[in-house]
């Protein structure tokens, strides 16, 4: 591992900002009003991605989604969709990898659901993208959980998450349609 003195300042600063964001998000369960988190993710993840990729491996902290993950389109502003997802039990996914859509749009929101409706050790990750018509495109997949409690309970779960061992767009889409959002086109 590189000594801290040889790691670029932007990488160290990004890690500090990400750690602070995760701590605040875990403590306060940031809802739809905390859009600043998306700014932190958009700036910090691309900077720290090369470091994370070398240390952890796996899917990385920034990547492009596949067409299979597209769930549907809503003719609603992203703020409305975020509130609906919050009310349906999803939460802001603070440490999620930063995504691009299949047509190169930057992710505008990341949500996660890990409650009793989701199989044990799994999560449903929902990604939101603004569209030119002021609507929202929704992408999703089910995967191993990235919840920090797995550091204590079963670290293999986090390793499987970061290695991308299980990713089911079909299970994610089904969950979104049944439990989180209706009126998807």
**Per-residue pLDDT reduced to its tens digit, 79-111:** 999 999 999 999 888 777 778 899 999 899 899
Spell out the residues 6+ positions from residue 118 whose beta carbon is closer than 8 angstroms to its own: 124, 142, 175
Q: Using one digit for the tens of pLDDT, what is the confidence trace for 10-33?
A: 656 655 655 655 555 555 556 777
User: Which structure tokens are listed for 96?
Assistant: 């999620």
Spell out the residues 6+ positions from residue 120 whose beta carbon is closer than 8 angstroms to its own: none
Domain boundaries, the chain: 4-180
Spell out the residues 6+ positions from residue 99 whose beta carbon is closer than 8 angstroms to its own: 62, 63, 64, 65, 107, 110, 127, 139
Distance in angstroms (rounded) separating the CA atoms of residues 79 and 58: 31
Q: Strand, helix or coil at 67?
A: helix
Alpha-carbon distances of 47 from 52, 74, 111, 137, 172, rounded to whole Å: 10, 31, 22, 26, 28
pTM for the structure as a whole: 0.76
């Amino acid at each position: 591992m590189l000594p801290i003195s040889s790691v670029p300042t932007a990488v160290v600063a990004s890690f500090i900002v990400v750690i602070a964001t995760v701590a605040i998000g875990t403590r306060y369960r940031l809802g739809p009003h905390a859009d600043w988190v998306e700014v932190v993710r958009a700036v910090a993840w691309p900077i720290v991605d090369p470091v994370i990729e070398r240390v952890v491996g796996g899917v990385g902290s920034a990547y492009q989604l596949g067409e299979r993950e597209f769930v549907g389109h809503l003719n609603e502003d992203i703020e409305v969709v975020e509130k609906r997802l919050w009310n349906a039990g999803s939460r802001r996914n603070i440490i999620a990898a930063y995504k691009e859509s299949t047509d190169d749009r930057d992710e505008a929101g990341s949500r996660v659901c890990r409650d009793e409706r989701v199989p044990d050790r799994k999560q449903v990750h929902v990604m939101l993208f603004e569209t030119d018509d002021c609507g929202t495109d929704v992408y999703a997949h089910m995967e191993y959980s990235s919840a920090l409690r797995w550091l204590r309970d079963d670290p293999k779960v986090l390793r499987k998450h970061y290695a991308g061992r299980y990713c089911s767009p079909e299970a994610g889409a089904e969950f979104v349609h049944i439990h989180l959002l209706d009126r998807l086109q």
